[in-house]
């Protein structure tokens, strides 16, 4: 499945389930861009298969413990990559 980040425009050609199940994404599942860390919602009615979360969805996502752990993991990865490139 190909998606394009609504924020940075990166085309992503694979997905992973960070919260358990290994099935493919379904509408309303959350995803994160590996490049910029933006959260998005899978929605097959959009041309790029994902959309920007609404303000209320973003608020809910940012208060979700699993999403918080995902963000911490992404930040940690970015810091590690930055350290390796020095």
- Whether pTM > 0.75 for this model: the answer is yes
Tens digit of each residue's pLDDT (9 = 90 or more) over 13-62: 887 655 666 677 888 989 999 899 999 999 989 988 899 999 999 999 99
Of 25 and 82, the one with more pLDDT: 82
pLDDT at 19: 60
* Coil vs helix vs strand at 72: helix
**For the residues 62-83, what does the mean pLDDT come to?**
94
Please name the residues in contact with 72: beta carbons below 8 A apart, sequence gap of 6 or more. none
pLDDT at 55: 97
Residue 31: other Cβ atoms inside 10 A:
21
Domains in the chain, number: 1
Range of the domain at 9: 3-84
């Amino acid at each position: 499945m190909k998606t394009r980040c609504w924020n940075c425009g990166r085309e992503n050609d694979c997905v992973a389930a960070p919260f358990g199940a290994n099935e493919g994404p379904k509408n309303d599942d959350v995803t994160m861009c590996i490049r910029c860390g933006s959260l998005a919602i899978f929605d097959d009615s959009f041309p790029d298969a994902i959309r920007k979360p609404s303000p209320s969805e973003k608020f809910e996502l940012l208060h979700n413990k699993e999403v918080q752990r995902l963000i911490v993991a992404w930040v940690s990865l970015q810091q590690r990559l930055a350290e390796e490139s020095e």
